[in-house]
Amino acid sequence: MTTDTTKADEIALRIEEAIVSGELPPGSVLRQEQLSERFAVSRTPVREALRRLAALGLVSFVPNRGVRVRTLSRAELREAFLVRAELESLATELAAPKLTPDDLAELEEAEERFSVATQALRARPRDDDERWRLTSDWVSANHGFHDVIYRVADAPLIERLAKSARRSFSGHAVWAPGGSEVDALYERNDREHRAIIAALRAGNGEGARALARAHVLHSYELLVHVLELASVA
C-alpha cells in the first residue's frame, strides 16, 4: 500500500467535510485530542491538518488556546460572494471558447439535476429531516453545475480559489426555505443557469461572463434573504 497521500491531508479533508456539512458549526472549538482519537491518529497529523485549514481560512488559530471554526461576519460573507462572482465570471469567460458539444451536454444534464432539486425543494415537506436532505441535494446539484464550468475552464488556480471562497460560507448555509418571495429567487437562480448555458452555446463569452457574475451576486441575495428569515424564526 503506497500512500500517495499523507494522513494529515486525509484528515484535513475529513475535518473540512465536517465543517462544510455543518456538523462542526461555525464558532465551535476544536480539541486536538478528541479529533485525534476520532480519526485514530496522534495529535501531530491533526495539528498539521488544522494548519492547512487555517491557511485556507476555514478555522482560526488562537495561540495556546486552540482553534475554532471560523465565523463569518455579514461583511465577510459579502466579500466571499464578491470574490466568487469575479472568479466565477472569469472562469466562465475562459470556458466559453473551449466548450465542446460533450461539455455542453454535460452542462445541460447538470442543470437538469439542479432544476429537479429546485422543484423538490420548493415542494417543501414539513419534515425537518427531509428538508435537510433536499437542501443538501440542492446545494450539491448547484455545485455540480458550476463545477462543470470550472472543469472546462481548465484553470486550476481560479478553481481552487473560487471553491475556497465557496467553502468558506457553506457552513453558514442553513438554507431554511422561506415563503413565496424566496421561491421567486430560487426560480430566478434556475433561470439564470439556463441563460448562462444559452450564452455559452452561442459562443458569447462576454455575455456568459456578465451573466455568471450577476448570477453569483443574486445567489448572495438569496442567501441573505434566507439567513434573515432563519434568524427571525
Scanning residues 30 to 59, which ones bind a copy of itself (CB under 8 A)?
44, 47-48, 51-57
Q: Smallest distance, Å, CB 115 to a copy of itself?
A: 29
What does the block give as the cell for 194?
Answer: 439556463
Sign of CA dihedral 8, 13, 15, 19: positive
Q: Smallest distance, Å, CB 218 to a copy of itself?
A: 17
Closer CB to DNA, 47 or 167, in the complex: 47
Q: Which of DNA, a copy of itself, none is residue 38 near (CB under 5 to 8 Å by kind)?
A: none
Indicate the angle between helix axes 156-170 and 74-95, nearest 10 degrees.
Answer: 150
Asked whether position 155 contacts a copy of itself by CB under 8 A, the answer is yes
Q: Which of DNA, a copy of itself, none is residue 79 near (CB under 5 to 8 Å by kind)?
A: a copy of itself
Q: Smallest distance, Å, CB 124 to a copy of itself?
A: 33
Q: Which residues make Cβ contacts (< 8 Å) with residue 105, sequence separation at least 6?
A: none
Cα–Cα distance for residue pair 218/209, rounded to 1 Å: 14
- Using CB under 7 A, list all residues that contact DNA: 1-3, 6-8, 29-33, 41-45, 47-48, 61, 63-66
Q: Which of DNA, a copy of itself, none is residue 233 near (CB under 5 to 8 Å by kind)?
A: none
Cα–Cα distance for residue pair 59/11, rounded to 1 Å: 14
Scanning residues 50 to 109, which ones bind a copy of itself (CB under 8 A)?
51-57, 61, 63, 76, 79-80, 82-83, 86-87, 90, 94
Exposed/middle/buried for residue 162 (C-beta within 10 Å: 0-12, 13-18, 19+): buried
Q: Which of DNA, a copy of itself, none is residue 56 near (CB under 5 to 8 Å by kind)?
A: a copy of itself
Closer CB to DNA, 48 or 103, in the complex: 48
Indicate the angle between helix axes 74-95 and 128-153, nearest 10 degrees.
Answer: 40
The sheet that has 59-62: what strands, in order across it? 29-30, 66-69, 59-62
Residue 58 is given by DSSP the state S
